[in-house]
Each structure stands twice: as C-alpha cells, then as structure tokens.
C-alpha cells in the first residue's frame, strides 16, 4: 500500500520503511518551537522532569510574539523565563524585541524550517509549515518540553483527505478565501486528526503566501496538519533561505485517501466567516448590511508581504471610514521594514490606519485591539470564537486582507473589487 506525503515524512523520521494510518510511532524532530505564552510552561515541565540540557541548541526556536513588547507584569515575567532559558542553553533561534516576528511568519522567512522537516510547536498554528512540504503540527507544552530534551515525539500516523485544486483564483481572492471556503464545506471537525493534503494543477497558481495561509488554518478544520507538495514555487522560496538542505518527498501514486474533494479555484469568491465558528461562512456579497467597528489586518494567517500589498492597494489615496479603527500588523520586522521602504506605512497612516510592531496581540484578545461589548471586528485572523478578541458579547468576522481593507473604507462588510 502506498503512502501519502505526510506518511512518507513520518516514516523517514521514524526510521521505518512503511507506516500506516493509526500506527503509533516515535519520530525524530528537526525543529521544536515555542512562544512567550507556551514556553514558560514547557520550561517548568522540563525542569520538573529533571532534564538538564536540550538535545540540540540549533533545533529549538523560541519566539516572543504574543505580548511583546510586554503589555504587563505577567507578560514581562513570562518573557524573562524564556530569555533566561534561551541564554542558559545557548538556543540559537531566540527572537526577542527588535528581531522577533509572529512565529509562523518568521520561521519560514528566516529559513529555520524547510521542506521534508518534522516539526512540533507549542502553538496550534504550527501546521503552517506544511506549505513548504514539511510535516508540522501543534502540541502541548509538555510535549514541547520532552521534544526539547530528547529531540523526538510520539505521533499517531494520520489518515488523509486529498484536496484536488484546479484553475486560478480571481484577482480579488486569496488563499484565505480558499481555506475559509473549505472549512465552510467540511466543518470545524471535518478533518479531525487527519492530514489535509493539497494537490492538483491549481497548486502552481497559488503563491507561497497563499499556501502558508491555507496550511495555517488547517487546524480550524480539526486537522493534524496541512501540506503542499514541493514544486518550483516552493524551491524558489527556499533558495538562499533554508539553513538546511531541503528534502523532497512525494506521495505514492497508490496512496490511500479517505476521500478526495475537488476545488476549482476560479469559482472561489470573497468569503467571510461569521461568528462564532470558522465554519459559519458566507460570501462577502451577502453581508453588506453588517456594520463594523474595527478592522485588523495581520496575524500569523495574513501578516505577510502580499497581504500588506493588498491592503496598500486598497487603502492608498483613500480614507478609513469615520468611527472605524483600522489596525495593520506586519508579520515580521523584515516585512515592516519593507512596508516602510515601499511607502506602505505612510499610505496606511494617511488613510487613517495605525501600524503596529509585529505581534499576535489582538488575535487572541491579548492587546492592541481588544473589543468592548457589542463591538464587531472584521479581521484577517484565524479564529472567531466567543470572546476571542475581547468581550464575550463582541463579534469577530474572519476575512481576507482584500475584504478587510475594503470594509475599512465603508464601515460595513464590503465585497472587494477585482483588480
């Protein structure tokens, strides 16, 4: 029996010729990731278990991105724990103020993760790196602690759903509209503990930023991971960037999938996920009567350069509607710098938006954009659960950068024009 792309990577890292869905394996890890929220818990578990050293200082990444610069005393103490641990163990990939970015935008950009890797991270959106042809998945802080010490982790090999992509996206749509459409089709548990494997002729028409966005939200369908095959787009992105040589795996022709779902990218429309679950999706064109109070463009889902460019093209020479708070958060310091150099930041400010240092801040209701009771936000983030961005009586609508930026100009959810 053939293996899927995910199963190929897991078999290689387990030192096995063959694995099958449901099998328990111990696999070698290439990268273990944590952030300023989850790493302190992992550090405590690391010490409690009696571990004294990390398995490889070059294979651990700690990114302070949720509450940095620190928003309060608790955040400062958490960051201090991370700094002390990284220093004492000489962790190579430690990213603090001035160097950090939102972790799932930063690690691909910096070449810390690459094709063929097996990666765990104490953050559910670690599944992002499947866009590079890697197996990556979120774990708890205890698993992170064990991974930092041993360089291994236990997995149950997932079965897979194949998403066969064809066609090309309309110019007002992006990877965000694709993944929101898919989650609307299959539901938030439609891929529970499964691998979402994206294949087909349409893959070549998706940019790396589109793919990173799509894999980022695989967890919102309950998936263990999302993954794309390695192609010319992948290799072009990795060239001169990856700190290790990429390893390319391919699914077997006779790989077994639970089902195949065909997606014609040309039929995708600007899509919005309404409160309070990502599966509650509707075309943006049906929601024009919904008034909003805030717009957030950023996060590990949509804080990359293409996202900033889309926002710039819509906001430049225009004005954010009166009474609307528009918050733009570039995903990394490099992206922020490029926005400055290209004049995007000036255009955002002239339009009446604010620009933040990279942070997860508002996405998880942390800071930099908390909602009061009764307020509504359209955001390029990944979750819209009750109270996700603030008060339990607030509402979050998930959308693409194009839809969010267009909505900032009207004060209502707005269908973006094709460009």
Report, as an integer, the average pLDDT of 141-150: 97
Q: Within this chain, do residues 212 and 110 fall inside the same structural domain, yes or no?
A: yes
Domain that holds residue 56: 5-264
* Distance between CA atoms of residues 299 and 380, nearest Å: 7
Which pLDDT score is estimated for 117?
A: 98
What six digits make up the tokens of 150? 């041993």
Residue partners of 116: CB distance under 8 A and separation at least 6: 9, 12, 133, 134, 246, 247, 248, 249
Which range among 150-154, 269-273, 281-285, 362-366 shows the weakest confidence by mean pLDDT? 362-366
Which pLDDT score is estimated for 418?
A: 75
pLDDT tens column, 255-307: 999 999 999 999 999 999 999 999 999 999 999 999 999 999 999 999 999 99
Would you place residue 1 in the very low, low, confident or very high pLDDT band (cuts 50, 70, 90)?
Answer: confident
Q: SS3 of 327, please?
A: strand
What six digits make up the tokens of 372? 């009061």
On the question of pLDDT at 88 being above 90, the answer is: yes
pTM score, two decimals? 0.95
Q: Within this chain, do residues 126 and 202 fall inside the same structural domain, yes or no?
A: yes
pLDDT above 90 coverage of the chain, percent:
99
Q: Within this chain, do residues 254 and 295 fall inside the same structural domain, yes or no?
A: no
Which pLDDT score is estimated for 417?
A: 87
The HSE-up count of residue 310 (CA atoms within 13 Å, CB side) is 30
Task: Write the CATH number for 353.
Answer: 3.30.499.10
On the question of pLDDT at 132 being above 80, the answer is: yes
Residue ending a domain, among 195, 230, 264, is: 264
pLDDT tens column, 3-61: 999 999 999 999 999 999 999 999 999 999 999 999 999 999 999 999 999 999 999 99
pLDDT above 70 coverage of the chain, percent:
100
Q: Phi first, then psi: give them for residue 58, nearest 5 degrees.
A: -90, -5
419 lies in some domain: no
Residue partners of 133: CB distance under 8 A and separation at least 6: 5, 115, 116, 227, 228, 229, 230, 234, 246, 248, 249
pLDDT tens column, 328-354: 999 999 999 999 999 999 999 999 999
Residue ending a domain, among 264, 281, 306, is: 264
Q: Within this chain, do residues 161 and 235 fall inside the same structural domain, yes or no?
A: yes
What six digits make up the tokens of 210? 């589109």
Residue ending a domain, among 215, 239, 264, is: 264
On the question of pLDDT at 419 being above 70, the answer is: no
Q: Within this chain, do residues 233 and 302 fall inside the same structural domain, yes or no?
A: no
Q: To the nearest whole number, what is the mean pLDDT of the chain?
A: 97
418 lies in some domain: no
Q: Within this chain, do residues 280 and 165 fall inside the same structural domain, yes or no?
A: no
Cα–Cα nearest to 163, from 173, 145, 175, 153? 175
Q: Within this chain, do residues 229 and 293 fall inside the same structural domain, yes or no?
A: no
pLDDT tens column, 170-199: 999 999 999 999 999 999 999 999 999 999
284 lies in some domain: yes
């Amino acid at each position: 029996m053939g293996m899927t792309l995910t199963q190929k990577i897991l078999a290689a890292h387990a030192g096995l010729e063959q694995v099958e869905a449901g099998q328990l394996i111990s696999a070698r890890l290439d990268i273990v990731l944590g952030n300023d929220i989850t790493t302190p818990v992992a550090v405590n578990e690391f010490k409690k278990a009696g571990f004294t050293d990390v398995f490889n200082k070059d294979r651990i990444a700690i990114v302070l991105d949720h509450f940095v610069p620190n928003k309060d005393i608790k955040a400062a103490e958490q960051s201090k724990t991370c700094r002390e641990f990284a220093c004492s163990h000489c962790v190579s990939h430690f990213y603090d103020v001035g160097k950090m970015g939102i972790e799932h935008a930063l690690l691909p950009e910096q070449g810390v993760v690459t094709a063929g890797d097996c990666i765990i991270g104490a953050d559910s959106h670690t599944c992002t790196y499947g866009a590079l042809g890697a197996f990556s998945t979120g774990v708890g802080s205890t698993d992170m602690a064990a991974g930092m010490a041993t360089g291994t982790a236990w997995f149950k090999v997932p079965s897979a759903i194949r998403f066969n992509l064809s066609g090309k996206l309309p110019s007002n749509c992006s990877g965000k509209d694709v993944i929101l459409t898919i989650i609307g089709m299959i539901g938030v548990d439609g891929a529970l503990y499964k691998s979402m494997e994206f294949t087909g002729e349409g893959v070549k028409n998706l940019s790396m930023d589109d793919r990173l966005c799509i894999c980022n939200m695989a967890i919102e369908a309950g998936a263990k991971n999302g993954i794309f095959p390695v192609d010319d787009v992948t290799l072009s992105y990795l060239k001169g960037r990856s700190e290790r040589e990429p390893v390319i795996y391919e699914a077997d022709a006779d790989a077994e999938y639970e089902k195949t779902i065909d997606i014609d990218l040309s039929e995708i429309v600007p899509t919005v996920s309404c409160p309070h679950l990502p599966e509650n999706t509707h075309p943006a064109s049906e929601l024009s009567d919904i008034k909003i109070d805030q717009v957030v463009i950023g996060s590990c889902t949509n804080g990359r350069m293409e996202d900033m460019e889309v926002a710039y093209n819509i906001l430049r020479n225009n004005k954010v509607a009166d009474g609307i708070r528009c918050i733009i958060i570039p995903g990394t310091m490099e992206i922020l710098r490029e926005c400055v150099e290209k004049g995007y930041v000036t255009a955002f400010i002239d339009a009446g938006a604010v620009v933040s240092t990279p942070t997860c801040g508002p996405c998880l209701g942390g800071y930099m954009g908390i909602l009061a009771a009764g307020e509504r936000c359209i955001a390029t983030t990944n979750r819209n659960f009750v109270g996700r961005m603030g008060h339990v009586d607030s509402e979050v609508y998930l959308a693409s950068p194009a839809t969010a930026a267009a909505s900032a100009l009207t004060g209502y959810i707005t269908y973006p024009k094709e460009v």
